[in-house]
Structure 1
């Protein structure tokens, strides 16, 4: 594959995780800094086992404050219906004008299984097989 934009196959990214930030402002600032620095995309982790804002919602806010940088939230397939995953990612892609990505993850611990109504976590291999089907 021949590079068409002079950058080659290397892509630069930064995580904009801020565990104590609940207003989104720090995420916006970090994404803007990454965009000014020429990075290609930012990621934002998420887990059903920890408190905090939803990565998709936060990056939807970041989308309106940035113009070029890609936005890649972690979305677990363990507790979310495939249709809802698709709809949420399509919405992020729409509000960002085509800059959405998806960091696929599963929730393999007991603490992460409880919010979805499961008493025990299925084996990791089963969770990842399901994640592959969703993708």
Structure 2
């Protein structure tokens, strides 16, 4: 049996919590959950989003959370299929600015006809084609 190689670098487990509360429209609930995650030494929180689902906008929620937290990373889901790239860039960059460099971005695509109809510019496409795009 070969011995394990010596530990040569620092390995770190990153812990996160999802702030997904689809039926909650009070910013205080999201803020309390993010502060709890920060006190619990988690590395970041995520907020799910989707064009056809109910609930507040993930970027907007985390933009509200940003000035009230100090250390925790903020990672919203942002759908890119029907959104112009410069809008996504500006929104995520704004979150990064108001959080003092703590923003991330979880990419999602919109593959349903219902989501495509919200924009009316192009029909829905298969998810694998959208990810390649």
| TM-score between both structures, scaled by the size of structure 2 | 0.89
- Residue 53 of structure 2 is matched in structure 1 by 50
Is the aligned partner of 1:40 residue 2:32?
A: no
Q: Unaligned stretches of 5+ in structure 2? A: 1-7
1-side partners of 2:24 and 2:130: how far apart?
A: 29
Is the aligned partner of 1:106 residue 2:109?
A: yes
**Following TM superposition, by how much is the alpha carbon of 1:25 offset from its aligned partner in structure 2, in angstroms?**
1.2
Residue 39 of structure 1 aligns to a residue whose secondary structure is: coil
Q: Is the 8 A contact 2:111 2:126 kept in 1?
A: yes
1-side partners of 2:129 and 2:27: how far apart?
A: 34
Who wins on radius of gyration, i.e. which is larger? 2
**Cα displacement string for residues 84-130 of structure 1 (whole angstroms, at most 9, x for unaligned residues):** 11110000000000000000000111122111215731121221122
| TM-score between both structures, scaled by the size of structure 1 | 0.88
Of the three residues 13, 23, 26, the one matched with 1:23 is 26
Of the three residues 115, 129, 132, the one matched with 1:129 is 132
1-side partners of 2:32 and 2:96: how far apart?
A: 20
Q: Unaligned stretches of 5+ in structure 1? A: 131-135
Structure 1 runs of 4+ with >3 Å offset: none
- Residue 3 of structure 2 is matched in structure 1 by none
Q: Aligned residues, how many?
A: 126
2-side partners of 1:104 and 1:119: how far apart?
A: 20
Q: Is the 8 A contact 1:110 1:119 kept in 2?
A: no
- Residue 81 of structure 2 is matched in structure 1 by 78
Q: Is the 8 A contact 2:23 2:54 kept in 1?
A: no
Is the aligned partner of 1:115 residue 2:118?
A: yes
